[in-house]
Structure 1
Amino acid sequence: MDILQASGELATVLITVAVIGIIINIILFVAILCTAGNTEKTYKELKETNKRLEMMNKNLLDTNMILINKFSQNNNMQ
């Protein structure tokens, strides 16, 4: 009888551990999905920011070229 009782208790413990493991895996899976969603959102925001910075950089380069040309013309006139 003791062996049957011990095996029943062991089965109960193993089932409990398995259920806890499944719950932990579900929680981790949800956390991974949330992280992936946030990563994708952040990537899109960084991409948009990069486009804006590229445009600002282009505008600054254009402005520098205009200033260089004006400065060169003024020096040539003197």
Structure 2
Amino acid sequence: AFNSMADQVVRLLAAERELAADLSHRLRTPLTVLRLNAASLGDGPAAEQTRAAVAQLEGEVDRIIRTAREQRPHPG
């Protein structure tokens, strides 16, 4: 029973790492496009606001991904 439970924990951890990697790819790819497009907007208040919003979004995505990677199953 113990070995079965240990195998299950290993499978769950592998699935969690795969989910974090998928999350990272799915969020960072469109974010990269936004960042590149925002960089090409030139000057002006709307361009600066767009770049600031993209930078804020990048920070949030980084925190979400970091949190997903750091979470560990809790004994229950």
Corresponding residue of 2:15: 37
Instruction: Please state how far the C-alpha of 1:55 moved relative to its aligned partner.
Output: 0.8
What's the TM-score, normalizing by structure 1? 0.49
- Aligned partner of 1:60 in structure 2 is 38
- TM-score normalised by L of structure 2: 0.50
Moved beyond 2 Å, runs of 4+: none
From the CA coordinates, give the structure whose radius of gyration is larger. 1
- Alpha-carbon RMSD across the aligned residues, in angstroms, is 1.6
The number of equivalent residue pairs is 44
> Cα offset for 1:58?
0.5
Which segments of 5 or more consecutive residues in structure 2 lack a partner in the other structure? Answer: 45-76
Q: Deviations over 1:37-72 (max 9, x none)?
A: 1211121111111112201111111113xx38xxxx
Gap regions ≥5 residues in structure 1: 1-22, 69-78
Taking CA–CA contacts closer than 8 Å with sequence separation of 6 or more, which of the two structures ends up with the larger relative contact order?
2
- Identity score, percent: 11
